[in-house]
């Protein structure tokens, strides 16, 4: 993911201040809290005395445009704690921020433009009136947000804004988002009978309907075939484990907030599995290993459970039950480059299959100042491992961007960013290097000289989770899945009732060769049956009329290419089987 330029970041940050100024002009009793720049613009969180609605956004935006010409300077100055507290004496949110600044021993700075002053570290336009095009930003929506993201705190009102360098970029983004709304996986998932959420089951716990189960099975089939050819071996692990396992792996100290609360049983604590790696480490350790056994590639579609916050759940993209296309590769240091490169090649193969043309690897490294807190305290191993990953990425000529302070606690990671067919960005999968946890589990192999050594471990999930990947595919294809992936590959439509028997035989022939066929024997008219097939995004329609029966053939129509022509049943079977096999 290419981060926004510094100038665009400054512009978005400045607009967050301008938003707060406009809100205070219109609603003087409001308490502003924080307002950062984000990937597509900015937002600011407020505590309003009287709730506002979407209708108020136009007035606030007009006020922003009215104030902007007077913002000829964004002036910053350092102030004392006393001055800052006096300025924000009626705003508990700003006072809390001041406390944090003091605790960290940092300087307190204020920035002023026009009549508005805010507590801020900086990073703005020096002359907003001159540097910010008035037609390159707009307010987009309202949302609820808890103070500091904590559900126990006050719920605030968040106002989002869009901002780009030019009006053309803003217009392009809005066009993309309108198309994304049409392709929203939550809407299409319901329309196409793919998945459902139910209050009695619980939020974030998707129920996969028959069409959704087909998508899962086809993706799993693809992964299993690919991994078999790549010399992976498959394993299985339970859905729960004792706390000792996650204490040993280090997940409980670093990750407990995202795990479900423990169950107490027979004097011990058991947790729902939030990740597969500790279980795979135990599988590795179950038998002695020599250098001849490496690399060992253990693969599992493991079901994990994560206690995501209610406010962060989002369709299939953020769930509490997830099935991960997981594998752990145990290798020697000498084997690492080839193994890591092979994993990246696997991603590229999947990109070609799914028509992903734009992608970038987000290489996340550690923060040396947070060793022992957020990252394992092994400075030499961090440097060595990050250098190894960086070298493979550079030598492979794979596009990547480096981001500090976002590594996993046990090693650097790659987040795979992809863009869908309409240009919308997704975080699809992850690829991590673990130099720390294998040693905690005492994992070893006997080297050529008879010494015991600890293997490196590569965590990889090129298809991510079923949930997130299918959510992406729904939007990427707009529900028009390719034949091999489509829940319903063919629908047989007889024109008249006296064609039903012949249509049933064709339907049976398709099912016998594992082609997912349906037959429409409803009372609907022929025209409506055709429309229903199109609305259901069925890949191919077989039409059987009087002339077809007389010719001993059928009429084949493609969802994407229109009428294919009149073919024999044998020709149809051969064509569809070849297309499915090649995963076109």
- The structural domains of the chain, ordered by start, are 6-182 (3.30.980.10), 208-240+273-477 (3.30.930.10), 490-582 (3.40.50.800)
pLDDT given at position 94 = 96
Mean pLDDT over the full length of the chain: 93
Model confidence at 572: pLDDT above 90:
yes
Percent of the chain with pLDDT over 70: 99
The reply, when asked if residue 459 is annotated as ligand binding, is yes
CA distances from 35 to 42, 126, 299 (A): 7, 18, 43
Residue 3 binned pLDDT confidence (cut-offs 50, 70, 90): low
Q: 267 or 66, which is more confident?
A: 66
Long-range contacts of residues 539-542, Cβ cutoff 8 Å, at least 24 apart: 539/481, 539/482, 539/483, 539/486, 539/488, 539/489, 539/490, 540/483, 540/489, 540/490, 540/491, 540/564, 540/576, 541/490, 541/491, 541/492, 541/493, 542/490, 542/491, 542/492, 542/493, 542/506, 542/572
Taking the C-alpha atoms of 372, 375, 381 and 385 in order, what is their torsion angle to the nearest 10 degrees?
-170
Residue 83 has which token pair?
A: 């001055």
Q: Is the dihedral of CA 12, 18, 20, 26 positive or negative?
A: negative
The reply, when asked if residue 277 is annotated as ligand binding, is yes
Residue 36 has which token pair?
A: 């950062």
Q: Is the dihedral of CA 135, 136, 142, 146 positive or negative?
A: negative
pLDDT given at position 1 = 43
Rg (CA), the chain: 28
319 vs 247: CA distance, rounded Å: 24
Name which of 188-192, 409-413, 436-440 the model is least confident about: 409-413
Taking each helix axis from N to C terminus, what angle separates 336-354 and 210-229, rounded to the nearest 10 degrees? 140
Model confidence at 206: pLDDT above 80:
yes
Contacts of 358 (CB under 8 A, 6+ apart): 418, 419, 423
Tens-digit pLDDT profile for residues 136-145: 999 999 999 9
Query: Averaged over 554-562, what is the pLDDT?
Result: 95
Q: Which phi and psi (to 5°) does residue 418 adopt?
A: -130, 160
Tens-digit pLDDT profile for residues 28-75: 999 999 999 998 999 999 999 999 999 999 999 999 999 999 999 999
pLDDT given at position 227 = 97
Residue 250 binned pLDDT confidence (cut-offs 50, 70, 90): confident
pLDDT given at position 152 = 87
Instruction: Enter the DSSP assignment of 375.
Output: B
Q: Is the dihedral of CA 462, 285, 322, 142 positive or negative?
A: negative
Model confidence at 372: pLDDT above 90:
no
277 vs 289: CA distance, rounded Å: 18
Contact 42/77 with Cβ under 8 angstroms?
A: no
Tens-digit pLDDT profile for residues 461-498: 999 999 999 999 999 999 999 999 999 999 999 999 88
Global pTM value: 0.83
pLDDT given at position 2 = 53
The reply, when asked if residue 251 is annotated as ligand binding, is no
Residue 311 binned pLDDT confidence (cut-offs 50, 70, 90): confident
Q: 435 or 224, which is more confident?
A: 224
Tens-digit pLDDT profile for residues 211-225: 999 999 999 999 999
Instruction: Please give the sequence-ordered ranges of beta strands (E in DSSP) within 14-98, or none if there are none.
Output: 31-32, 37-38, 41-47, 75-79
**Residue in 301, 241, 273, 251 with CA at minimum distance from that of residue 434:** 251
Quickly count: other Cβ atoms within 10 Å of residue 76's Cβ: 14
Taking the C-alpha atoms of 191, 193, 199 and 205 in order, what is their torsion angle to the nearest 10 degrees?
-120
Q: Which residues pair with 240 in a beta bridge?
A: 272
Tens-digit pLDDT profile for residues 322-336: 999 999 999 999 999
pLDDT given at position 396 = 85
CA distances from 291 to 331, 337, 441, 581 (A): 9, 16, 18, 37
């Amino acid at each position: 993911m290419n981060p926004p330029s510094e100038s665009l970041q400054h512009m978005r940050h400045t607009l967050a201040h301008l938003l707060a100024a406009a809100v205070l002009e219109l609603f003087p009793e409001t308490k502003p809290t924080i307002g950062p720049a984000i990937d597509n613009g900015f937002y600011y969180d407020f505590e309003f005395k009287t709730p506002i609605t979407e209708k108020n956004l136009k007035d606030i935006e007009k006020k922003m445009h009215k104030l902007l010409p007077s913002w000829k300077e964004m002036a910053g100055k350092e102030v004392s704690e006393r001055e800052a507290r006096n300025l924000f004496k009626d705003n508990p949110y700003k006072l809390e921020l001041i406390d944090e600044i003091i605790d960290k021993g940092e300087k307190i700075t204020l920035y002023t433009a026009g009549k508005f002053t805010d507590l801020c570290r900086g990073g703005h336009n020096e002359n907003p009136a001159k540097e910010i095009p008035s037609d390159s930003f707009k307010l987009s929506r309202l949302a609820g947000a808890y103070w500091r993201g904590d559900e126990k705190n006050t719920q605030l009102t968040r106002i989002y804004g869009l901002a780009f360098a030019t009006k053309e970029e803003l217009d392009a983004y809005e066009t993309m988002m309108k198309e994304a709304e049409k392709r929203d996986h939550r809407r299409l998932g319901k329309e196409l009978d793919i998945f459902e959420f139910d209050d009695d089951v619980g939020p974030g716990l998707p129920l996969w309907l028959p069409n959704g189960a087909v998508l899962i099975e086809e993706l799993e089939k693809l992964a299993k075939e690919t991994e078999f050819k790549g010399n992976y071996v498959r394993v299985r692990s339970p859905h729960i484990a004792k706390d000792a396992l996650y204490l040993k792996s280090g997940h409980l100290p670093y990750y407990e907030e995202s795990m479900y609360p423990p169950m107490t049983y027979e004097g011990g604590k058991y947790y729902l599995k939030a990740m597969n790696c500790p279980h795979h480490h135990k599988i590795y350790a179950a038998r002695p290993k020599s250098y001849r056994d490496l690399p060992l590639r253990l693969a599992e579609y493991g079901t994990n459970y994560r206690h995501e916050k209610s406010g962060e759940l989002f369709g299939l993209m953020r769930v509490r039950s997830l099935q991960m296309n997981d594998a752990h590769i145990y290798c020697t240091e000498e084997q690492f480059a080839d193994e890591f490169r092979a994993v990246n090649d696997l991603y590229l193969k999947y990109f070609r299959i799914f028509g992903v043309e734009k992608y970038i690897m987000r290489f996340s490294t550690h923060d040396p100042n947070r060793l022992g807190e957020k990252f394992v305290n092994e400075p030499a191993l961090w440097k060595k491992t990050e250098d190894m990953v960086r070298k493979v990425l550079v030598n492979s000529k794979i596009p990547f961007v480096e981001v500090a302070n976002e590594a996993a606690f046990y090693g650097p990671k790659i987040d795979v960013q992809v863009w869908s067919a309409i240009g919308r960005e997704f975080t699809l999968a992850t690829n991590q290097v673990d130099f720390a946890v294998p040693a905690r589990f005492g994992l070893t192999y006997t080297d050529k000289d008879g010494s015991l050594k600890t293997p490196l471990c590569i965590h990889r999930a090129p298809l991510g989770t079923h949930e997130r990947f299918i959510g992406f595919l729904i939007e990427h294809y707009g529900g028009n899945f390719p034949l091999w992936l489509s829940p319903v590959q063919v629908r047989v439509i007889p024109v008249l009732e006296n064609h039903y028997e012949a249509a049933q035989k064709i339907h049976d022939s398709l099912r016998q060769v594992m082609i997912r066929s349906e037959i429409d024997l409803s009372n609907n008219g022929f025209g409506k049956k055709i429309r229903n097939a199109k609305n259901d995004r069925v890949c191919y329609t077989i039409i059987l009329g009087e002339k077809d029966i007389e010719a001993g053939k059928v009429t084949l129509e493609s969802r994407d290419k229109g009428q294919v022509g009149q073919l024999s049943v044998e020709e149809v079977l051969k064509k569809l089987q070849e297309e499915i096999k090649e995963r076109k």
